[in-house]
Amino acid sequence: MRLRTVRPLLAVLAVALLAACTGPPDGTGTSSASPTASPTASPTTSPSAGPGTSGSPAPDTETTVPAPSPSAPPAPTAGPGAGNAELAIMVRPSPTEAAVNYTLVCRDGLPTAESKHPRPEAACAALKNNAALLSPAPKSKDVACTEQYGGPQTATVTGIVDDTPVDATFARTNGCEIGAWNAAQDVLGASGGAT
């Protein structure tokens, strides 16, 4: 008699364990063999939630709520900064000329020995006086730029200023770009478009 009762119990237990141990290879924790499983089930309801749990998932239950994405550090605001920077600067006088490369490393607004820049003191002072110099606000669509040409020069600046990543490009093909170039000319190592 006891054997007849134990065998069905063992069979049910084996099926339950097999269902619990197997699942789809995608790691969602839901089994496609289960008619009640839904990969889009609400994360706030759980069939295993007991009384008094207010519909919240059990501690071991997977949810479909994505983790929050890491936020980017805020862009520096115009005005004085700490004056710390590690930058790679490339200035191309024209499309046919070779690029000129500089390295600028500043600590507390002063250049370090690692700097290979034509005017490192002026460049570091400019970054300390305006931490946002290389991170200008995006140009609004309703801003008109004068139709003037300042020259074929282009520049790229990458690195970090006061713990904020920098990836800026400069050109002189219209009034707005000429203005940005002139504002950053101490860092670019160029004056009036000349390198």
Structural domains of the chain sorted by starting position, each given as residue range(s) with its CATH number in brackets: 85-137+146-188 (3.30.350.10)
Contacts of 109 (CB under 8 A, 6+ apart): 82, 83, 124, 125, 127, 128
Q: What is the pLDDT of residues 36-45, one digit of tens each?
A: 444 444 444 4
> What are 154's strand-pairing partners?
92, 171
Identify which has the larger pLDDT, 11 or 154: 154
3-state secondary structure of 55: coil
Residue 31 has pLDDT above 90, yes or no: no
Residue 6 has pLDDT above 70, yes or no: no
Contact 80, 131 (CB under 8 A): yes
- Provide the residue type at 128 as one letter: K
**Quick one: pLDDT band at residue 74, thresholds 50, 70, 90?**
very low
Identify which has the larger pLDDT, 192 or 184: 184
Which has the closest alpha carbon to 80: 124, 128, 136, 121?
128
In a 10 Å sphere around its CB, with 0-12 CB exposed, 13-18 middle and 19+ buried, how is residue 100 labelled?
middle
Summary mean pLDDT of the chain: 74
Provide φ and ψ at 46, rounded to 5°. -145, 130
Beta strands in 27-99 (DSSP E): 85-92
pTM above 0.85, yes or no: no
